[in-house]
Chain A
Amino acid sequence: MNGAHDCGGMMGFGPVVAEANEPVFHEAWEARMFALMSAVGDVGGWTLDEDRAACEAMEPGHYITSSYYEHWLSGLERLLQTHGLASAEEIASCIASAPSRPVTPTAADAVWPAVTAAGSYERRTGGQPLFRPGDRVRTRHLNPAHHTRLPRYLRGHEGEILACHGAHVFPDSNSRGLGEDPRFLYTVRFRASDIWGNGAPDLIHADLWEPYLEAC
């Protein structure tokens, strides 16, 4: 979806403000929010792609004017409802009224193994990649109503395949509960001057799945 999260190339947000000696969390609630998202995510039955899609589903004006962990709160509240873990009324009142879906929460001593486990989003498929490093490709004019990882600023542009990473879980399917549907993933190199028409000598790279690309 062309939501407010897809902000590459937008102007007017002002300078990047870096904080000296920035703490990991600025408020206690941010730390709790971070931990809640991680802990409930372990048992909630949703995927990382659904998680991202849920955070993007905020009304764009609200998304832009709220802070990072507020996006997480909004996403978690949405996921709890869509996955039947809590009702809108329970979230509004914060009083449990319905029986909870039986789950086994992650125990404190299971956290470290869980967060440091070497996972992978690469999946085996029978097929062969359509493109090879060095191939010229064009990104498609896609404007799906659902979650996608092809940013708007890169659509309809020519680039070059830099690397193929095998088949990876495809967010456009996985975010909608349609399964992992693995597709070949490439790093594609674009010339900044092609993207922006500004003559800049720089290069932009993005990791893009095969359905986002066509031969040119």
Chain B
Amino acid sequence: MNGPHDMGGFTGFGPVLHEADEPVWHDDWEPRAFALVLAMGMTGSWNIDEARHARERLPALQYWRSSYYEMRHYALVLQLIELGLVSAMEDEQGRMAVPPKPVKRVARAEMIPAILASGGPADRPSNRPQGFAIGERVRARTMNPRGHTRLPRYARGKTGEVVAVHGTHVFPDSNAHGGGEDPHWLYTVRFTGAELWGKDSRDAVCIDLWEPYLEKAP
């Protein structure tokens, strides 16, 4: 979706502010919010693409108004309510009113290091033939799906060159919507600044794009 998260190419946000000796957290609630998001993710109630899409589906005004951890918190609440893991009233009152629903796993303190260490690899085997080779010119499709996608708006319709092939990976456009992992070939495509932004630029932007986003350059 062309949501508030798809920020590439926006201007007007001002300089990037660097904070000297920045602490990990800026407020006491931030580490709790962060840990809640991770711990609930570990219950296996959703996959990473569904979690990303939940953030994008926050009302645009709320997304833009929120700090990073606020946004993560609101997206978590959205998912919890949608899945019936908590009710809106429970969220408001902070007290249990209905019995819990069973979840796949509750991560105990002693399990955390192993879970974090194992990560969540996204490469998957697939029988699909590889459509593009390194050095090939490809064009990102003009598409504006209402659902989750990882093809940013600024790259759509633009032509670039395949510079890496990463095998077949979980396809977010499917996995975010209960369509299964549906692995597709994943490429790094290099676009020149001139192609993306029309300026006389020597820079380039490389984007990781799945094969369904691409077509042979005309």
**Chain A residues packing against B (C-beta within 8 Å):** 1-4, 9-14, 56-61, 63-65, 140-143, 145, 152, 155-157, 194-198
Interface of B is mostly: loop
Interface of A is mostly: loop
List CB contacts (< 8 Å) of B1-43 with chain A: 1-4, 9-14
Contact of A12 among B11, B63, B194, B197 (CB under 8 A): B63
Q: Which residue of A lies closest to B12 (CB)?
A: A3
Q: Collect the chain B residues with CB atoms within 8 Å of residue A64's CB.
A: 4, 60-61, 64
Also in contact, A10 and B3, with CB within 8 A (given A56-B12, A59-B13): yes
Q: How far is the CA of A56 from the CA of B157 in the complex (A)?
A: 27
CB-based contact A13/B60 at 8 Å: yes
Q: Collect the chain A residues with CB atoms within 8 Å of residue B199's CB.
A: 143
CB-based contact A198/B61 at 8 Å: no
Q: Collect the chain B residues with CB atoms within 8 Å of residue A3's CB.
A: 10-12
Q: Collect the chain A residues with CB atoms within 8 Å of residue B104's CB.
A: none
- B52 near A: Cβ within 8 Å? no
CB-based contact A9/B2 at 8 Å: yes
- B59 near A: Cβ within 8 Å? yes
- Give me 16 A-to-B residue pairs in the complex whose CB atoms sit less than 8 angstroms apart, sorted by A's number: A1-B11, A9-B2, A9-B153, A11-B2, A11-B3, A11-B146, A12-B63, A13-B60, A59-B12, A60-B13, A141-B195, A143-B197, A143-B198, A143-B199, A152-B9, A152-B153
- B142 near A: Cβ within 8 Å? yes
Q: How large is the interface on B (under 10, 10 to 19, 20 to 34, 35 or more residues)?
A: 20 to 34
Also in contact, A4 and B12, with CB within 8 A (given A10-B4, A12-B60, A141-B197): yes
- B57 near A: Cβ within 8 Å? yes
CB-based contact B64/A65 at 8 Å: yes
List CB contacts (< 8 Å) of B79-96 with chain A: none
CB-based contact B12/A57 at 8 Å: yes
Q: How far is the CA of A13 from the CA of B144 in the complex (A)?
A: 16
CB-based contact B1/A2 at 8 Å: no
Q: List the 3 shortest-distance A-B pairs measured between CB atoms, nearest first.
A: A141-B198, A197-B142, A12-B60
CB-based contact A142/B198 at 8 Å: yes
Q: Quick one: which of A61, A145, A194 has the most chain B CB within 10 A?
A: A61
Q: Collect the chain B residues with CB atoms within 8 Å of residue A156's CB.
A: 157-158, 198
Also in contact, A2 and B11, with CB within 8 A (given A10-B3, A11-B3): yes
CB-based contact B12/A10 at 8 Å: no
